[in-house]
Homo-oligomer: A and B are copies of this chain.
Amino acid sequence: MLNMEVKIGSLKLKNPIMTASGTYGFGKEYGEYYDLSKLGAVVVKGLTLKPREGNKTPRIAETPAGILNSVGLQNPGVDAFLEQDLPYLRTYDTAVIANIAGNTVEEYCEMAEKLGSQVDAIELNISCPNVKEGGVAFGTKCDSVYSITKSVKQHCRVPLIVKLSPNVRDIVEIALAAEEAGADCLSLINTLLGMAIDINCRKPILANVVGGLSGPAVKPVAVRMVYQVAKEVKIPVIGMGGISSWQDAVEFIIAGADAVAIGTYNFVNPKAPVEVLEGVLGYMEKNHYQMLSDFKGKVVL
């Protein structure tokens, strides 16, 4: 029997297919397209301590094989999530991972406390390029990554995933800082900072001027970073950035990812995660792999 199980700290996922935060709301919408129990995990929209309205529109622009977004963490706040959104997700047999963002280290810690063990893991979003405070500022320097991870870890009752920003000089040094500070897992990549201008009116297409680039365009950068990081850390790595097919998912796993997340491509194909899952299964069968570790990180040099 084929075994697709993945371990993230103490958390066991039935398979390595997850959804990327912010592209999947709180699951409800895609729950109308397929049974969420098929997924290894659902990662919910980035949460903040208080409700947030997010940025002005337009919040999305299309670029070659990619999109820019500047949603800016619109969300109902962590309390409303626990009350109103989590119960729906709990009707499914899938892990629920909360993505959290704060303005201060204290806010992150407070959110971790509130979430307690009601979610299966917490993903620390210190890489959102769309908010002025906090966000990416925490995630692009080793010392701040280290200290915020260390602090939150003390308040975190479930596995702590640190989500890395690709807008850095050396992703490995950031990854090592997070690992050293006690992260149970790393996820990468968040979006690359980008911009698009409408040449007719000379205005940036996004009201927020700049936004985060995601989608197939960024895949080569994401694969490279996953490869570099997975070689150097001992904790598991969740790979994402431009996955649109099972082939892409397999590429990330070969590069070293323990699990993968589908983001932007949900918008293109609402059933992408399920199709990716089926495809990875088929690939494993065809190659007579029994478990993910049979090909995970097995780049032939």
Contact = CB atoms under 8 A, between A and B. Distances in A.
Interface of A: 61, 63-66, 68, 140-141, 167-170, 192-197, 199, 201-204, 209-210, 213, 215-221, 223-224, 227, 242, 247, 250-251, 254-255, 283, 295, 298-301
Nearest to A295: B202
Contacts of A219: 63-64, 196
A36 B89 CA distance: 62
Contacts of A213: 220-221
A210 B223 CA distance: 10
A199 B247 CA distance: 7
A253 to B, nearest CB: 9
A63 B196 contact: no
- Copies of this chain assembled into the complex: 2
A145 B173 CA distance: 20
A221 B193 CA distance: 6
A197 B140 contact: no
Given A204-B299, A299-B197, A216 B141 contact: no
Given A65-B216, A195-B227, A202-B298, 14 more contacts: A61-B220, A63-B216, A63-B219, A141-B169, A169-B169, A192-B221, A195-B223, A196-B219, A196-B223, A197-B254, A197-B255, A202-B254, A202-B299, A217-B220
A164 to B, nearest CB: 12
Contacts of A221: 192-194, 213
Contacts of A64: 64-66, 215-217, 219, 242
Closest CB pairs A-B (n = 7): A194-B220, A64-B216, A195-B224, A217-B217, A65-B65, A64-B65, A202-B300
Contacts of A254: 197, 199, 202
Contacts of A199: 247, 250-251, 254, 283
B65 A217 contact: yes
Contacts of A197: 223, 251, 254-255, 299
Nearest to A244: B64
